[in-house]
A and B are shown apart, each in its own frame.
Chain A
Amino acid sequence: MANTTTGEAAKAVVRRNTEEVQGKGNFAIFEELFAKDFVDHTPQPGRTPDREGARELYHVLRAAFPDFHAVIHWQAVDGNLVTTFKTYHGTHKGEFFGLSPTGKSIQFDTVDAMRVRNGQITEHWGVANLFSLMEQLGALPATIKT
């Protein structure tokens, strides 16, 4: 069984990354929260599966959606693994995946699992509904529109 204190602390680390780094662009906190040997098991295409890749992705998201932020629906913890279910919101004001700004408000669901060791994030697995995001941005090629 997970130690409750450790579990709650692990959830707080993940929440802090979501709210302060992703949601407010406070990258000093990123340096604090991400372990040097962080491994991303589900990197986005073209990004390295490490700390640098994660930092870059967050910068890209904040540049494309300056008001980018998540609403966390809930978190569950088991041992040192934290799972978070959240919805990201933002306004498309900068280039994103080659798309010029559309000014559209978007939202998409994401679930991820992060392993927390000694107060730092060491591993990440995530699935985001990017299909819905691209649909909202009107960016799906005609051939795959349903």
Chain B
Amino acid sequence: MSTAEANKTIVRRYFEMFNSGDFTQLPNIVTEDYGDKLEGQASGIAVIRSYLEGLKASFPDFTWTIEQIISEGDRVAVMNRVTGTQVNDFGDIKATGNRVDFAAFQFYRIANGKLAEHWEVADFAKFQEQLTAKSGATAFKSFQNTLKS
């Protein structure tokens, strides 16, 4: 397998791990000093572990679906969809039950067969909009309450 293909494979494994929610393989997939360039995010495997676990705690069905994956040199670029349901609180946003579905791009630098650095641009505007939209259930409940009063 070429380096480019091997690099794609390690990224695919990372996505599959996230989707499964079982992070025991994390040390075999990301480096100890994993540098996540996401705004406000510190480096290190402990940070990324708690970040991923936190996402899954709020959105247990959070799924990253790879739509395109390209590799050159030590870089891999991924275009993916992010889908999930906000079953539990997310930061200070109370559980809404809302479904989110938005697009994102990721870049990874691979070193010694592991993910060493990460950059991301996601459609946070759509994420925010879907998260803060009143869910159908709430709107319906409010309608029912109006009828009762």
Contact = CB atoms under 8 A, between A and B. Distances in A.
B121 A78 contact: no
B105 A127 contact: yes
B132 A128 contact: no
Interface string B53-90: 00000000000000110111101110100000000000
Chain B, interface size: which category?
20 to 34
B72 A77 contact: yes
A127 B68 contact: no
A7 B4 contact: no
Contact of A81 (B70, B75, B92, B127): B70
Given A76-B77, A127-B104, A81 B72 contact: no
Nearest to A132: B124
Nearest to B123: A127
B125 A134 contact: yes
A130 to B, nearest CB: 5
Interface of A: 1-2, 7, 42, 73-74, 76-79, 81, 83, 85, 109-113, 125, 127-132, 134, 143-144, 146
